Each structure stands twice: as structure tokens, then as C-alpha cells.
Amino acid sequence: MSRLCEGRIAIVTGAGRGIGREHALSLARHGAKVVVNDLGGSVDGTGGDLTPAEQVVEEIRAAGGEAIANGENVADFEGAGRMVQAAIDAFGDLHAVVNNAGILRDRMLSNMTEAEWDAVINVHLKGTFAPSRHAVAYWRDRAKAGEPVSGRIINTTSVSGIYGNPGQTNYGAAKAGIAAFTNILALEVARYGVTVNAVAPAALTRMTENLGMGQGSDEEKAAMAPHWIAPIVTWLASDEAAGVTGRVFEASGRVLAVAEGWVRGPSVDPVDDPEGLGPIVAELLAGARKNAGMDGVPGSPPQSN
């Protein structure tokens, strides 16, 4: 029986640990050849070590799969291009890019430094743009040459970005940007045979263990294990997912859901006198759904760090 991603070639960024590691292992189990990318830095993005990526490659090879390690910085435009080319050179093609690499530098905005803002935006947002840009150019050129294309970009957003979480204006802004990037790029590349989706994971990893996710019963911890995110990513990377694009999926050991994007709520005719807007805005808000909390439910209280 053919496996779900048999013969497909995938890049997974930030794949040395946590959620990315689970993505790489799952894709390999389902027949994909995997480029395991990881800079090997700390949670805040400093430092570098190829060892975690190499260890995941060893796991995949020990199980009979094919993989190579890659230590490029995904936020470096030229480095991202080299990573994409490495996949093509090693395995002869490219079918999926899973943009998973990320860092945290949480702080309330009044105390956040410019460096903390820039670092998070750079790794998450530019680190999604750069690999995607090079992959899309490759697939576009193949499509224009009349060759078949079955491309997949799978981005990593967050409930912190699409719903909001205090103390994470940098991280949440980057993740909200990734959700918008996903929607727009899906519209741009459909003609090339490429789909673009995103996953908003909730899992206990070294990035989240200090955010309260490391507490609770063994059952609660099991529900937050990172392997729960890999099934939807593996499926989205497959040929089966050809008809799904521009969507954001929430994934954890507690739920698999489709997040609904911004939609127009109650509306009125245009108003040209600001002094008359008070009761009009009150009426609009009374008829509108409240913003969702971190659980995705409109009107639920926000989570505080």
C-alpha cells in the first residue's frame, strides 16, 4: 500500500526539536524525503548547532527513510534559497515546504526593546517569506515549462496571532501576518498547482513550557504533546490535499478545527458626522460577535501571562 506522501520531497524548518521534529518524522514515516532544517539556536534565537537536525536525520534513516540536515537561517534570503536548492540537489525535486521555525521574546509592549521586536518579526515573518519565495519561484518556472506541479506550503501561525494573547505583541503580530500571508499567497499561486495553508498549533515544547503549558495532570500534558500537530501537516503536504488552500487549521491533542478569518459584521450606511457616531457604533457592536479568546470562542476571557 502506498503511503500518504510516498516519493514526495519536503523541507521542514525548525525541525530539530519539538513540533518541527514531529513533522519531519511523520512526513518520513509516510514516505517523504525530508530536508531537516534547524539553525540549532536557543528559544530566543541566539546561538547555533546543527546537532539537533542531524539527530532527527539519524532517526529517519534508522527507520529506513531518507533525509538530510540543513543549518541555514530561514530569515536569511540567500540562505533560504540555498536550502531550497539543497532539497532539489539532494532529491531531484521539491513538493512541500513546512515553515515551522520560530523564537520567543515575550514582553509587555511598554517594556519591549526594538531588538526583541525585530528578532521575532524577522524569524517568523521573514522566515516564512524567504523559503516560500524561493519554492514558489521554482514551482512557477516548472509550471511555465509545462511540467506537472504539486506544491504545498504549510505555514505556522498561532492562536496568539489570530485571537490575541497579552505579552506577545511581537509574536502575535508576526503570526497574524503569517495568516494573512497564507491567504494572499494561496490566491497568487493556485494557477501553478500550489496550495498554501497554515496551522495554529498548541503543544508543550521548550518554547511553551514557561507559558503555563507544562503544568497539569499527565493526561493534560499528553494532550499537549507535539505529535498531535503532525497529522494535519502531513496530510496537507500530500496529493490528497490538492483541493484545500488558503485555510488556517487549529491543531492540538484537544481539537482539530478550521479557524474562520475576518468577515464583515453588522453595517450601516456611511456617516459623515462624527458627533452622531456614538449610538450608531453602540448598535453595531451590540449586533457583532465579540472577539475570540485564546480558545477561539467569541467572548471568552483573554489569557494573561
| Longest alpha-carbon distance in the chain | 71
- Cα of 217 vs its chain's centroid, Å: 28
Buried b / exposed e over 152-190, threshold 16 CB at 10 Å, is: bbbbbbbbbbbbbbebbbbbbbbbbbbbebbbebbeebe
Query: In Å, what is the CA distance from 63 to each residue of 60, 70, 214, 218?
Result: 5, 19, 30, 28
SS3 content of the chain, % helix, strand, coil (to 5): 45, 15, 40
Residues 247 and 270 in one domain: no
Residues 217 and 288 in one domain: no
Q: Which of 138, 163, 171, 192 is catalytic?
A: 171
Query: In Å, what is the CA distance from 122 to each residue of 4, 41, 90, 115?
Result: 33, 14, 28, 10
Cell triple for 274: 462624527
Question: Residue 163 catalytic?
Answer: no
The one-letter amino acid at 43: V
Residues 270 and 126 in one domain: no
Residues 286 and 240 in one domain: no
Domain presence at residue 1: no
CA proximity to 124, closest of 105, 109, 137: 105
Cell triple for 31: 514516505
pLDDT at res. 216: 65
Domain extent for 282: 265-305
Lowest mean pLDDT among 55-59, 134-138, 208-212: 208-212
Residues 106 and 237 in one domain: yes
**Is the pLDDT at 301 greater than 80, yes or no?**
no
pLDDT level of residue 225 (50, 70, 90 thresholds): confident
- How far is Cα 95 from Cα 194, in angstroms, rounded to an integer? 9
Q: To 5 degrees, how large is the angle CA 194–CA 10–CA 198?
A: 55
Q: How many domains does the chain have?
A: 2
Provide CB contacts within 8 A for 210, sequence distance 6+. Answer: none
Domain presence at residue 33: yes
Residues 93 and 164 in one domain: yes
Domain presence at residue 3: no
Phi, psi of 64 (to 5 degrees): 95, 10
Q: What is the pTM of this model?
A: 0.91
pLDDT at res. 40: 84
Domain presence at residue 4: no
Residues 140 and 199 in one domain: yes
Residues 46 and 162 in one domain: yes
User: Crossing angle of helices 77-91/127-144, nearest 10°?
Assistant: 50
CATH of the domain at 147: 3.40.50.720
Provide CB contacts within 8 A for 78, sequence distance 6+. Answer: none
Domain presence at residue 2: no
**Is the pLDDT at 305 greater than 50, yes or no?**
no
Name the residue with higher pLDDT: 214 or 96.
96
Domain presence at residue 180: yes
Residues 204 and 70 in one domain: yes
Residues 238 and 202 in one domain: yes
The one-letter amino acid at 163: Y
Per the CB < 8 A criterion, the answer to whether 253 and 228 are in contact is: yes
pLDDT at res. 221: 63
Residues 234 and 249 in one domain: yes
Residues 185 and 274 in one domain: no
pLDDT at res. 223: 73
Domain presence at residue 206: yes
pLDDT level of residue 30 (50, 70, 90 thresholds): very high
CA proximity to 9, closest of 152, 188, 148, 197: 152
- How far is Cα 271 from Cα 215, in angstroms, rounded to an integer? 50
Domain presence at residue 23: yes
